[in-house]
Structure 1
Amino acid sequence: MTSPIVSLDHAGLTLRSGTGDVEILHGITLDVAEGETLALVGPSGSGKSSLLMLMGGLERATSGRVTALGQDLNELSEDALARLRRGHMGVVFQSFHLIPTLTALENVAVPLELAGIKDAGARAAAQLEAVGLAHRAGHYPSQMSGGEQQRTALARATAPAPRLILADEPTGNLDSTSGGAIMDLLFALRAEHGATLIMVTHDHDLAARCDRTVSLSDGRIA
């Protein structure tokens, strides 16, 4: 039996502040199989996004263990985590996180260049074409609609052909028409690369498209 691509063993997350510790996640145990599509659902404040951040090493578990892509994330340095994400993960955020001073093409190409991919520009152009934005390659984020910015973010996340795609409310800032188109595209890109998709969403119709749904409540799996 193959090992899960992501595994959490009693993982917890406590954030420290001047007013005291705040427990965000409590003893989460969860395995995600390679190639699976998984939706994380639950009310606001239930810990969905925090759990996704643990899976990507963007937050470190303060208890328990998180393993992704065969690596114990708590044992990796920040630089090693960045290399792991850059080479093998694609992360899509609700608020796009494009660099405003770079064109669409440059936003997609820069992570590829950092990963040492020699044909970064050509690969970025091909991925923009795959998301229907070849005609926007020279435009800056401020010159694009929200849907076009999210398409650019999808191109950036999937251009390296990642094994794992993490998406945090990827349609949260879009209208229903744009959001539906983005999700069709995200599932198509995932299928093309055979990637695992883990997605935070409030949309139950969207969650129903995934192989499995995990519900969170008060930092625990419900």
Structure 2
Amino acid sequence: MPDPVLSLQDVTLSLRGNAGDVEILHGISLNVAKGESLGLIGPSGSGKSSLLMIMGGLERATRGTVSALGQDLTSMNEDGLARFRRDHMGVVFQSFHLIPTMTALENVATPLELAGHPDAFARAAQELEAVGLAHRADHYPAQMSGGEQQRVALARALAPRPDILLADEPTGNLDGVNGQAIMDLIFGLSEKHDATLVLVTHAPELAARCDSIIRLNDGLVDTNQQAAE
């Protein structure tokens, strides 16, 4: 079996609260293969988003190891993690996180410019076309609908051709029609670019589109649900 693109071994996450440390994740171990799509499901507060943030190096595990593309994320400093994400990961959040003073084209081009791509704006224009927003390239986020802003955020995440795409409730702020369109784009474009996809969702019908599903309950993998895979 080839080496996994993402590998978590005995990962624990504790966060300090008013009453002391609270353990969010309890010894999570999992592997995600190249090109695989993994759905993370479970009730609110089960640790899905925290697990995704650890996979992306946006949150540090309290204990355990996290590897991506053979690199140990737990041993990297913040600068190293930022460079790794820039070069290998795309992240799509429920909140769009677009820069309000930049046009759609500039928002998509920014990570490409930071990565030193000489054709940043040309590739950004191609990505906007791929998500059906070529006609919105010169518009600012406030001039676009929620569905359009999420498509810009998706184009921005995929423009650098990431090896790993992490999506945290990407349809949570959208209506049914726009949500369906975004998910079609996420699955279609990640497959086109052979990206490994990890998707956090509350929607069983979205999780069912993934190659495999992991259900979390109270920070633990629910082994009683593994038949759902």
Give the TM-score band, short-chain normalised. Answer: over 0.9
Q: Distance in 2 between matches of 1:17 and 1:45?
A: 15
Q: Which residue is 1:138 aligned to?
A: 138
Q: Which amino acid aligns with 2:213?
A: T
Give 2:125's aligned amino acid.
A
- Looking at structure 1, the residues matched to 108 and 140 of structure 2 have their Cα atoms a distance apart, in angstroms, of 12
Alpha-carbon separation, structure 1, partners of 2:77 and 2:102: 28
The alignment partner of 1:101 has SS state of: coil
Other structure's SS at 1:13 match? strand
Alignment partner of 1:176 is 2:176: yes
Say which SS state the counterpart of residue 126 (structure 2) adopts.
helix
Q: Which stretch shows the higher mean deviation, 203-212 or 14-23? A: 14-23
2:226 equivalent in structure 1: none
Tell me which moved more, 17-26 or 50-59. 17-26
* Aligned equivalents of 1:205, 1:179: Cα separation in 2: 12
**Corresponding residue number in structure 2 for 1:44:** 44
Instruction: Give, in angstroms, the shift of residue 28 of structure 1.
Output: 0.1
User: For residues 59-208 of structure 1, what are the structure 2 equivalents within 5 Å?
Assistant: 59-208=59-208
Task: Indicate the residue corresponding to 1:31 in structure 2.
Answer: 31
Identical-residue share of aligned pairs (%): 70
Q: What is the RMSD computed on CA atoms of the aligned residues?
A: 0.7
For 1:172 and 1:47, the matched residues in 2 are separated by: 17
The TM-score, its normalising length taken from structure 1, stands at: 0.99
Distance 2:45 2:12 in 1: 15
| Matched residue SS, 2:215 | strand
The Cα offsets for residues 96-148 of structure 1, whole Å up to 9 and x where unpaired, read as 11111111001000110000111101000110011000010011111000000
1:10 is aligned to 10
Deviation at residue 18 of structure 1 after TM alignment: 4.0
Count, aligned residues: 222
Q: TM-score, normalised by structure 2?
A: 0.96
Q: Shift in Å at residue 46 of structure 1?
A: 0.1
Deviations 1:76-102 (A, max 9, x none): 111111111111111000001111111
Following superposition, the deviation at residue 19 of structure 1 comes to 2.7
Which residue does 2:216 correspond to in 1?
A: 216
Q: Structure 1 unaligned runs (5+)?
A: none
Displacement of 1:161 in angstroms is 0.7
Letter matched to residue 189 of structure 1: L
More divergent stretch after superposition (68-77 vs 34-43): 68-77
Q: Secondary structure at the match of 2:22?
A: strand
Instruction: Report Cα offsets for 1:169-203 as digits up to 9, x if no partner.
Output: 00000000000001001111011101100000001
Q: Which amino acid aligns with 2:147?
A: G
Q: CA deviation at 1:68?
A: 1.0
Q: CA deviation at 1:17?
A: 3.1
Distance 2:185 2:144 in 1: 18
Q: Which amino acid aligns with 1:98?
A: L
